[in-house]
Amino acid sequence: MKRHRCPERYAEHVEHPRYGKAPHVTGVDPNPDDPAVHLHWNTRYLTEAQLRRIERTTGWHPVFPNDGTRMVPGTAVAADVSRQTPATVAITHYYDIDKVCRDCRRRFIFFAQEQKHWYEDLGFPLEADAVRCPPCRKRMQDIGRARKRYEQLSHVASRSFEETLEMAGSCLMLIEAAVFHQRQTEHVRTLLKRVPEEAKGDRRVAEITARLMTVEAEARKRGPK
Ligand SMILES: [Zn+2]
């Protein structure tokens, strides 16, 4: 793998923990007009014949909004078609795709190697697309986990200190992520009050209290709702 010719162009891109920021140059560029070549529609480099083939097999006619997505030439990686989840048109090559994150609006690369991993190792359908950058994706997963954990803990009749703390932390995170309403801060306070006296000095209690105060201060700044 060669380094990209001008990695500085990607200096502001969001970093992927495994693949980095800049595209991975392979020097491979299959001819998209070759009938044996089928690129993923995320390259947006489709011939009329390929568009028709997608429409015929999936009933979907791709229309791409101008959202800043572009493929990076010279970054193709050959696919192992036999490992892809069938039922769609097989993809013969993946490309590094330069995209804008739906949440934070920063640019990131959806790497060809990452697509290979998604579609061949993890068994994701080819329709699965990365719409968020890695940290925003992680954040979505954390929110999902916090929701689930909060829900589980709310059914526990007598919670241990650890569980109470975890529930308060989950609730607070969901308020910070605007999943829960601001009013739920009172619930976090109630949970913290249930922390036994000898545990009040716990570092995590102090951390949650500090975050809670920040959230409440921001709410006061915004005024009553
Ligand atoms: Zn993002």
Domain limits, the chain: 7-132, 137-215
C-alpha span between 165 and 147 (Å, rounded) = 15
Distance, CA 59 to ligand 1 centroid (Å)?
30
Nearest to 170, CA basis, from 220, 156, 201 = 156
In the reported structure, the alpha carbon of residue 199 is separated from the centroid of ligand 1 by a whole-number distance in angstroms of: 37
Q: Ligand 1: distance of its center to the CA of 55 in Å?
A: 31
Q: How far is CA 54 from its chain centroid?
A: 26
Q: What is the number of other CB atoms lying within 10 angstroms of the CB of residue 86?
A: 10
Distance 18 CA to ligand 1 centre (A): 16
Give the pLDDT of the chain (225 residues) as one tens digit per residue. 566 667 789 999 999 999 999 999 999 999 988 889 988 888 887 777 777 877 888 787 777 778 889 899 999 999 999 999 876 678 999 999 999 999 999 999 999 999 999 999 999 988 889 999 999 999 999 999 999 999 999 999 889 999 999 999 999 999 999 899 999 999 999 999 988 888 888 999 999 999 999 999 998 888 765
- What letter would DSSP give residue 74? T
Residue 98 CA, ligand 1 centroid: distance in Å: 13
Q: State the angle between helix axes of 161-176 and 203-222 in degrees (0 to 180), rounded to the nearest 10.
A: 30
Distance 100 CA to ligand 1 centre (A): 8
CA of 102 to the centre of ligand 1 (A): 7
pTM: 0.75
For residue 94, the CA-to-ligand 1 centroid distance in Å is 22
- In angstroms, the first-to-last Cα distance of the chain is 54
**CA of residue 12 to ligand 1 center, whole Å:** 12
Is the distance from CB of 13 to CB of 109 less than 8 angstroms? yes
Residue 69 CB-density burial (10 A; 0-12 exposed, 13-18 middle, 19+ buried): middle
Separation of CA 101 and ligand 1 centre (Å): 5
Beta bridge partners, 39, equal: 93
Q: How far, in Å, from the CA of 162 to the mean position of ligand 1?
A: 32
User: Which burial class, exposed, middle or buried, applies to 178 when counting CB atoms under 10 A from its CB (0-12, 13-18, 19+)?
Assistant: exposed
* Count of positions (residues) in the chain: 225
- For residue 13, the CA-to-ligand 1 centroid distance in Å is 10
Query: 68 CA distance to ligand 1 centroid (A)?
Result: 14
Dihedral sign for Cα 159, 162, 163, 165, please: positive
The residue whose two tokens read 């804008």 is 100
